[in-house]
Structure 1
Amino acid sequence: MRQRSWALLLALLLVLTPVTAHMEEAVTFIDDLGQTVTAFSPKRVAALSGSFAEIWLLAGGTLCCATQDAWDERALPLSADVVNVGSLKQPSAELLLKQGADFALLTPTLEGQRALGETLSAAGVTTAYFEVETFADYLRMLDCCTRMTGRPDLYNEYGERVAQKIAQIVKAYEGKPSPSVLLLRAYSTGVKAKNSQNNMVGAMLDELGCRNIADSQSGLLETLSMETIIAQDPDFIFITTMGADDEALSYLAKNLQSSPAWQGLTAVREGRCHVLPKALFHYKPNARWAESYQMLADFLYGQ
């Protein structure tokens, strides 16, 4: 199944590989809100997430505006004239319009950004919405961006080459016994189990042949039952954090890791419980996706 999915992804690369076009030619695509977007080599681009800002830069573009996380979370090499338009959840329409943006990259998953998109569209700014959760999503967005910048060479460098590395990593472990895993997301006030759907780490673990216990024990998604976890006794436990790492890990230590039942889990006793680095497993890794896959593969199957 995994071999077939990667064969399809590599075939998709051939379809998506952009052809060299004159910079002023219109680029048309369907975004993740289902709207048809037509762009004419945008010059004043606003990226309303740090991840989107990085993808636009990887595509050879320049920015006029970005949200605060582009500086705080990614430390992107943005020029001094790039304007901070506020938080990811509530970017400032006033600041963005003041900068004369002609194109905006938004996410449909945040209500504040969808409302902002309506304001921008009414003001004549072209908007495109992307929901990037998996490597395939990243490829699709990178394809759209490199088509708009007229840089197919950068799609090859930061898309095709990364896809080939990932395909090699996945192929190297095909046919291996499928380890069982528990994937947790910790934050300052709670811990939740995550399945293989709608989250980047779950999707990667699935492609690497893992059996996520939350896929078959769906009750874990609502209530983190220690009884269920003990019964499943996963081979590996992976933990990602949201918000401040120290607060998330403190909550985890006090409310879960201090439990004798937790300490008795095979994965904990045998050193197979891993807190994953935020740069590769919470923030979207973009050009570093292959590093994320490789780190998981090393944990699961050894270096």
Structure 2
Amino acid sequence: MSAINRSRRRSAPGRVLALALCATTALFGAGCSSGRGDSQQSASSSTPASTDPMPMTGAQFPLSITDFSGQSVDFESAPQRVCVLAGTAMNIWYDVGGTAVCSVEITDNVKVVPENEAAMRAVPTVGATSNVDIEAVSSYDPDLVIVMGGAQDTVLSRLRELGIRGLEVRARSHDELDSIYRAFGALTGHSDTAQERIEQIDEQIDGVVDRLPDEQTSVVIVYVTAESLAVKLDDSIAGQIAGTLRLTNIASGLTPDDPGSETTPLDIEAVAAGRPDYVLVTSMVDDDADARARMDEEFASNRAWQAVDAVREGRIAYLPQEYFLLNGGPYYGDAVTYLAASVYPDVYGDAQQYA
């Protein structure tokens, strides 16, 4: 992808994106992204001060964690029989030295730490992230079940009705990822390991941010599903990482499809009017190749896209699901680097080296 004529940078349009294609479902609660604080702000660092999204009381047992459902979950001692019902959470849990008695199926779009993969895949499964068998979970007699916020709210409610202790986590942002590491480190007795992982990720992100060009670059983040297209907002994984990289999301501030949603309907004319420097493509389809094929077909069949300079001039970046559908967890720093390289290859090199 060639460098862009920087004099053509444009600000986001003021108009609201009107409905052109049907809305999509919200991203899996993991999903979602980097960026400390509000992604609309131009931060000089990737790590400004912020409120802990999942605060803990106490550094040792007994301790309490206020999870993303707003409930305080108490622990007199370390949980011994843990079931983890989302791939991102499972990846982080094992990254800090945890073990599990059951989990969901680990899909191909979870980038598993190699030394943990055999152990993770050996754990008995209780269904898919989106289709958990509650009776199977209960049969393992867990003393803690970890669920992903948004996608598994109903699962959490059912578990609590059965008297099973549940902890709801979410990983759309850098801060949320850090909070999961801290909580998981405390629960597994490996707080030092968790802090090391946090510092490693922070250091990698700071190194990327320190090299950012002093330029105004705008993007639109298109979200592809099997049924439709939409546009990602600032609180999505891609939106928050874009904020960390000081990119202007032209959909910033627009009304989401539904409360809690991270998408808004797509209006190609409004995208053309916003003149984004890049079109970023995220997806929830079979795989990354399918997403690219679907967008190739869309660009070829819908002439309205030819009014978008970035499409006509080939400034399109496809973002891998392992980083932008699901939070990269241990590889979150690579996700930030991947997006930076997609927009500034002259600074960071070919994005594919970070995949």
Paired residues of 1:234 and 1:267 also in contact (CA < 8 A):
yes
In the TM superposition, what is the alpha-carbon distance from 1:295 to its structure 2 partner? Answer: 1.5
More displaced stretch, 270-279 vs 73-82? 73-82
Residue 282 of structure 1 corresponds to 325
- Give the % identical residues: 22
CA offset digits 1:241-270 (Å, max 9, x no partner) = 102135544443333343344245332343
In the TM superposition, what is the alpha-carbon distance from 1:42 to its structure 2 partner? Answer: 0.8
> 2:229 pairs with 191, 197, 203, which one?
191
Residue 107 of structure 1 corresponds to 148
Paired residues of 1:188 and 1:250 also in contact (CA < 8 A):
no
User: Which amino acid is 1:64 matched to?
Assistant: V
> 1:206 pairs with 237, 243, 247, which one?
243
User: Aligned pair count?
Assistant: 291
In the TM superposition, what is the alpha-carbon distance from 1:33 to its structure 2 partner? Answer: 0.8
CA distance change for structure 1 residues 8 and 272 in 2, over 3 Å: closer, same or farther?
same
Matched, 1:225 2:286: no
Paired residues of 1:181 and 1:210 also in contact (CA < 8 A):
yes
CA offset digits 1:94-137 (Å, max 9, x no partner) = 11121121111012313xx3343344334443211112111211
> 1:134 pairs with 170, 173, 176, which one?
173
Paired residues of 2:45 and 2:206 also in contact (CA < 8 A):
no
CA offset digits 1:207-244 (Å, max 9, x no partner) = 21111111266699654222222222211110011021
Residue 82 of structure 1 corresponds to 123
1:151-300 paired onto structure 2 within 5 Å? 151-173=190-212, 176-196=214-234, 198-215=235-252, 222-245=264-287, 246-263=289-306, 265-300=308-343
Paired residues of 1:182 and 1:238 also in contact (CA < 8 A):
yes
Distance of 2:264 and 2:48 partners within structure 1: 35
Residue 17 of structure 2 corresponds to none
Paired residues of 1:189 and 1:251 also in contact (CA < 8 A):
no
Distance of 2:118 and 2:130 partners within structure 1: 22
CA distance change for structure 1 residues 80 and 56 in 2, over 3 Å: closer, same or farther?
closer
> 1:146 pairs with 185, 188, 194, which one?
185
The DSSP-based 3-state class of the residue aligned with 2:166 is strand
Distance of 2:268 and 2:134 partners within structure 1: 46
In the TM superposition, what is the alpha-carbon distance from 1:191 to its structure 2 partner? Answer: 1.0
Distance of 2:269 and 2:166 partners within structure 1: 47
> 1:61 pairs with 89, 94, 98, which one?
98
In the TM superposition, what is the alpha-carbon distance from 1:199 to its structure 2 partner? Answer: 0.4
CA distance change for structure 1 residues 47 and 261 in 2, over 3 Å: closer, same or farther?
same
CA distance change for structure 1 residues 72 and 255 in 2, over 3 Å: closer, same or farther?
closer
CA distance change for structure 1 residues 115 and 192 in 2, over 3 Å: closer, same or farther?
closer
Residue 31 of structure 1 corresponds to 67
Paired residues of 1:186 and 1:249 also in contact (CA < 8 A):
no
Distance of 1:63 and 1:217 partners within structure 2: 40
CA distance change for structure 1 residues 251 and 83 in 2, over 3 Å: closer, same or farther?
same
Structure 1 residue ranges without an equivalent (≥5): none
User: Which amino acid is 1:87 matched to?
Assistant: A
The DSSP-based 3-state class of the residue aligned with 1:78 is helix
The DSSP-based 3-state class of the residue aligned with 2:149 is coil
Paired residues of 1:181 and 1:211 also in contact (CA < 8 A):
yes
TM-score (norm 2): 0.74
Structure 2 residue ranges without an equivalent (≥5): 1-41, 258-262, 349-355
CA distance change for structure 1 residues 213 and 148 in 2, over 3 Å: closer, same or farther?
same
Paired residues of 1:27 and 1:148 also in contact (CA < 8 A):
no
CA RMSD of aligned residues (A): 2.8
> 1:44 pairs with 78, 81, 91, which one?
81
Higher helix share: 1
